[in-house]
Amino acid sequence: MNQIGSRFRPALGGLASWLVLAVLALLYATGSSSRDQLVTVMLINAVIVVGIQIYTGNTGIVSFGHVSLAGIAAYLSALLATPSAVKMSIIPHAPFGLAHVEMPPVLGILLAVVITTAIAAVLGLAINRVSGLTASIVTLAMLFVVNAVLTNWKDLTGGAEAFYGIPVVTTRWWVLAALLAAVLAARYFWASRVGLRARAGRDDELAAASMGVRVVRARYFSWVVSAVFAALGGALLGHLLGAIQPGTFYLSLNFLTLAMLVLGGMNSITGALLGTVVVTVGSELARWLGDGPRLLGVDLPDLPGLSLLFQGAVILIVMLLKPEGIMGDRELDHLWRRRGRPVSEPAEAPALPGAEPAEAQSAVAPGATVPSAAQPGRPLLAVSSVSMHFAGLRAVDGVSLEVHPGQIVGLIGPNGAGKTTLLNVISGVYSPTGGKVTLGEEEISSLSATRIAWRGVARTFQNIHLFSGLSVRENIEVGAATAAAHRPEVHRAADELLELSGLGEVAERKASTLPYGLQRQVEMARAVALGPQVLLLDEPAAGMNEAESEALIGAIRAIRDREGCAVLLIDHDLHFVLNLCERIYVLDAGRIIAAGTPDEIQKEACVIEAYLGTKAGGASGQVQVEAVV
């Protein structure tokens, strides 16, 4: 993909979807003033919905709070721009001398957006600390609190009664411009590094942290950017209606915007626009029916809640039939892109990474320092007397081991021996109960998983943790972005990494659609993208047949040679571990019971037999496959 094309694609794609909506809106809004009003309100709702999409789409957190941000902005702009003569009658005792302020509406709107964004930035500190469903509940609480403040701070807002006399200045053109800005911002945020990190956190918080992503921070940025457009929409709405009340920005607007977002698909900006149109049309029809029209000579009864019923039904039906919404995570411009390129389905069991690169290796980087085998000198990674206790269970109990630069070290032992726990301690998922882990000169056992990743410790997981909604390229870019930010000397472009890992063919496919074997490859490529000093692999050969694990040996060696990194890996396949590793530790019940070269370990066959229950040798691969899958 060429650079310029990819830089402007969000702009062109956003422009295209905006243009379709704008043309439709202008075609419809050429008649009566009620039609004009309906279209302008719909376009404002689109601004708010795109604003919500920036947060919800990137973080996966459904927000009920954006509507109240729109309300805050509408009231602020009303306070700043309404003629003081009007304010003297509604809010004579307004604090901060606001009753006498009278700004040009444009300035009022801009200032309102700035102040609202600042308020959101403060509230976001608390809201984005929590994740997932809890965060949704907190945003709902925020909706109630803001409504209570708007209703009860009578000196400032005039209370539950209407705040009227707001200069009616919002035109359709302003709103279209605001919507274009919102759509472009949403598209660029989506494609940005922060957006990518937020989406990585959305799909898998644990894996994101292990790839050096500060999830809370990425969520927070999404929140602040999205607040800008929710606020802009709210301020514009106030200046369109001319009179607002706290109820304008409460439950009904919330139900409406949520139905719009959900119908189109939370992960698509085009979807936000499409959902806005469909739900607006449906709600208007329902309202017309509910007003008791005369149809075919019959007077229908008044049904006041019909448009609400419609919105509830939209949400429910979408969730039951197509939870990802109409657009899923596609955009308008993806439709013609898809057509241009034939989608090639890779074979189920593809060639492993490295099979090729391994051979090409010596030509590519002849100068790479590849220390061979176990060596004296300073260890790169040192685990000293590390313990990890969980409520009385000693999962790891005083383990010490060393990994030297460029060394491939294996960790074996029966199920429940504490292997994965040890890996989790090293990578910072847990902080150890006792002992310490040092990387080079630095003690890392007190650092978070994120910061350990920044220092070049990369890992894979026993039960694959990919960013399932991201493409293969994006999965790898998450790692590359961390390398670029924290260890620029090892950063490589995603294209290069894709080529090295042999995943170029499937680069644009969504990770969750790949077969198991390829997912494992992507996970390893993602870890390599970090430009690791130490690569931790948790059962890389799980589920592989003998030929595949043979190829994996070549692949891991190739990675070690290319990256100059050390590798610490866990596996049950003894044949694999004995052939690949230069040094092996045997763990049982949380303690190291043997350590040495493969030869030495093989001689301690009694240990192996006792703890693995299988004979060391060729057949073990097959047996273990069943045990592990």
Partner 1 sequence: MENVAQQILNGLTLGATYALMALGLAIVFSIIGLVNFAHGELITISAYTMLAMRYLGLPWVVWALAGVLASVLGALVMERLAFRPVRHASPVTMMLTSFGVSVLVAAAFEIGISPRPRAIPQPGWITSSFSVAGLQLRAEHLLTFGVTAVALLGLLLLLRRSLIGAAMRAAAEDFDAVRLMGIKANAVIAYAFAISGLLAGLASVIIMSRRGVATPHMGLTLGLNAFVANVIGGMGNLWGAVAGGFILGFGEVALRAWLPASLSGLTQGFLFLMVAVFLLIWPHGLFGQKTAVRV
List interacting residues with partner 1 (CB under 8 A).
Answer: 60, 62, 123, 125-127, 129-134, 136-138, 140-142, 144-145, 148-149, 151-153, 205-206, 251, 255, 258, 262, 303-306, 308-309, 311-317, 319-320, 323, 420, 424, 429, 461-463, 465
Q: Which residues of 272-287 are buried (b: 16+ CB within 10 A; e: fewer)?
A: bbbbbbbbbebbeebe
Residue 67 or 236: which CB sits closer to partner 1? 67
Q: What is the Cα–Cα distance from 425 to 383, expressed in whole angstroms? A: 10
The three-class DSSP label of residue 536 is strand
Quick check: 254 and 68 in contact, CB under 8 A? no
**Residue 311: HSE in the Cβ half-sphere, 13 Å Cα cutoff:** 22
Q: What is the Cα–Cα distance from 191 to 6, expressed in whole angstroms? A: 10
Q: Which residue has the tokens 């109820």?
A: 247
Min CB(329)–partner 1 separation in Å: 14
Residue 29 or 143: which CB sits closer to partner 1? 143
Residue 163 or 174: which CB sits closer to partner 1? 163
Quick check: 411 and 574 in contact, CB under 8 A? no
The three-class DSSP label of residue 384 is strand
Residue 15 or 146: which CB sits closer to partner 1? 146
Min CB(251)–partner 1 separation in Å: 7
Residue 176 or 395: which CB sits closer to partner 1? 395
Min CB(332)–partner 1 separation in Å: 24
Min CB(596)–partner 1 separation in Å: 28
Q: What is the Cα–Cα distance from 179 to 174, expressed in whole angstroms? A: 9
Q: What is the Cα–Cα distance from 480 to 530, expressed in whole angstroms? A: 6
Residue 48 or 135: which CB sits closer to partner 1? 135
Min CB(180)–partner 1 separation in Å: 29
DSSP code of residue 350: P
**Percent helix / strand / coil, the chain, rounded to 5:** 60, 10, 30
Min CB(551)–partner 1 separation in Å: 26
Residue 295 or 317: which CB sits closer to partner 1? 317
Phi, psi at 583, each rounded to 5°: -145, 145
Min CB(440)–partner 1 separation in Å: 25
Q: What is the Cα–Cα distance from 10 to 324, expressed in whole angstroms? A: 21
Q: What angle do CA 607, 610, 616 make, to 5 degrees?
A: 70
Residue 17 or 56: which CB sits closer to partner 1? 56
Q: What is the Cα–Cα distance from 145 to 122, expressed in whole angstroms? A: 15
Min CB(565)–partner 1 separation in Å: 21
